Amino acid sequence: MYANELPERELACLRALARLETAFTSEIASLAGMSIPYARQALIALRKQRLVYYESGDYPFWKVSRPGLSLALRSWNVPPSMKFSFYKERARSQGRHKRDARLWPAWLRRAWPHAEIWSAWSEISVPGRIIPDALAWGRLEDRETLFWLEVESGKASRTDLQRKMTQRLSRAVVYANQFSLCAEHSLSAEHSLSLVFAVLAPPWVRETVAQVFHNLPQSVSVVLTDWKDFGRLATPKWGEARW
């Protein structure tokens, strides 16, 4: 079988699961950019072709098979003889931290249905040795936008939390600005990249870190929300922090 023989939805789910290796249906749907029922139909079809497995139990999940992983790699034009592991999304975190990261694109689509989400990744490494909990790329209010997510449980002092968020926002701005600088040398600056920096956390953590978000560039918006409140985000405003 060749990757181009798979229907688009099945290929999107196979690629998402290849990146995650094991995942719940809702997580695959989120990163593949489709509803849960559509993802479930696609995964059932992939299972019939032995490209994925279904592990039943208290918390049933999907797992990519060796033929499925091979097909996903071929769809990315990775040669069969090449040792390649950069397709994997890191799995440093566990529990709700990992789940919130994987559901970030679904969270965005529910909170801001007017936004376009083109692609998304959880726990992906970006230049500068920093790993945001999740990234999404798309368009918000006619601006090409990078949606950067930090999930913070609060297992640190208030001072350390403020220092961490200050550093993370600074690195996120630098990363987004790299694309804006590239646009300055193109024929049009319309392709500069805006940044939405989101923090999902318990109430006391939000109150603590909100104090560091001031004097923001007009290309940056910060939103903070309760990590238990799936699908809700404050209306973003460029140059400001909202919660």
Q: Is residue 84 part of a domain?
A: no
Helix (H) or strand (E) run with residue 221 in it: strand 220-226
- pLDDT of 189 above 60: no
Beta bridge partners of 119: 137
In CATH, what number is assigned to the domain containing residue 15? Answer: 1.10.10.10
Sequence letter at residue 198: A
The predicted pLDDT at position 61 comes to 93
Q: Is residue 12 part of a domain?
A: yes
Task: Give the residue-averaged pLDDT of 103-126.
Answer: 92
> What is the extent of the structural domain holding 172?
95-242
Asked which of 19, 46, 75 is the last residue of a domain, the reply is 75
pLDDT bin (cut points 50, 70, 90) of residue 187 is very low
Tell me: the pLDDT tens digits for 139-182? 999 999 999 999 998 888 999 999 999 999 999 999 998 876 55
Q: Are 98 and 68 in contact (CB under 8 A)?
A: no
Sequence letter at residue 98: K
